[in-house]
Chains A and B, each alone.
With several copies, the nearest count.
Chain A
């Protein structure tokens, strides 16, 4: 399938499948002691059912801000976000979020962590444990049900977070740099796993990352953001066969996409790095976290 026909196909799909998520001209600014910071500016994006979309951009470009707004944790300053025509005003039940930082509960075992959302929904104990066990298995952690997060490695903890989000079967999975804390090899192998799961569950995923290889490896489309204020610089469809595995990393086609995104990002990253050096303590701090 060539690029043109693939894009046509995409377009057709977008027409038939109504978008599950629509981000419509969303902006967000913060008022800080040093003045107004424009974090996100006029972003529009729509994601259809079953799609895997990545958002990539340099540190501090507003990715997490956008993520929080879609998740309903932060109101937008302008614009609207819709889940299947319903404008969101707070956390929406159809959305599951996986956070950038470790967000497992250290006082709960793996299985109790994963079963937590079901506990809130009042699902009966035996049922929720069974379900949790299923998802623990899915992320490859069988045998660790009774371990506490402190007894796991960072990668394993992130998998617990993912299982905890998958367990209540959200229609839309939002992930904010879920693998940022991991080393490259582990990250790519976990990426494989997420790819498999997505295919199995027919899930819609919006992944935030700053890892180019990861974005290319996993996505149907990649949205590249500019440095602050975060704008939509380009949306790039990734026309690679599926299933994709980490082997593909050394193929030429893969290299082509990486180079393409890298060219876009270098400009922004360079801009960001220079600017970071000039920002106040607070901003720099945030950017580094």
Chain B
């Protein structure tokens, strides 16, 4: 109830801002304009075509980035020596915006979806690897001992002890990884492409079609939030 009220107030403030003329009115659009843009977008088959492309790229990027991050994180987290040798480099590269590597990605993976997936995967890798490495270290030592004393094979330990024991941190890492993979893919699309939602955004911007741009951004935010909510729902330990 309160939530609806706050939402309504926020929308009203926006509308007031749009009408006040304090902001350049071609940029801060009123609500009716945004609604119109939304309707136009949702009826446009082009939107759905580009949407699926982007979704496929994001899924591929998250899958590759998460898997490599998972393996790397487990190796780093499983050995104090490797951790001390290499983890700092992950921490240093983690906050480096991956978009600056996009030129390299074009060089290596071409101009098609390959380079977008690569950039997304690269973005996704770091948070997953760091979270898994930390999670690995937080597995109670005792649980590893149980596995060793029962002479579990490394594969058995990984599947039956490490992964379930790290469920929380791993899923949190995957969530963060997914979030940055989305950003990576979309930004790559704005840079060099002829399809995908990132491409649509930049086209609308270059045409100064603010209506369409708002609509697109709202759609993208909505989808990202929905995907993230689904992931966190899955992470909730009460929801097995």
Contacts and interface: CB of A to CB of B under 8 A. Distances in A.
Contact of A93 (B145, B146, B151): B151
Contacts of A103: 140, 142-143, 145-146
10 contacts: A90-B151, A91-B149, A91-B150, A103-B140, A103-B142, A103-B143, A103-B145, A116-B150, A116-B160, A168-B150
Contacts, number: 46
Contacts of B165: 105, 107
A105 B143 contact: yes
B149 A72 contact: yes
Q: Which of B149, B152, B165, B167 has the most CB of A within 10 A?
A: B149
Given A103-B142, A105-B161, A120-B152, 7 more contacts: A90-B151, A91-B149, A97-B145, A99-B142, A103-B146, A105-B164, A108-B164
Interface string B160-194: 11001101000000000000000000000000000
A117 interface: yes
B111 to A, nearest CB: 45
Interface residues of B, number: 16
A116 B160 CA distance: 9
Contact of B149 (A95, A102, A107, A108): A95
Given A116-B150, A117-B150, A73 B164 contact: no
Contacts of A84: none
A91 B164 CA distance: 23
Given A101-B140, A103-B143, A105-B165, A73 B160 contact: no
Given A105-B161, A105-B164, A120 B150 contact: yes
A101 B142 CA distance: 7
A95 B148 CA distance: 12
A71 interface: yes
A105 B156 CA distance: 14
Residue among B146, B148, B164, B165 having the largest count of chain A Cβ atoms under 10 Å: B146
Contacts of A119: 160
Contacts of A168: 150
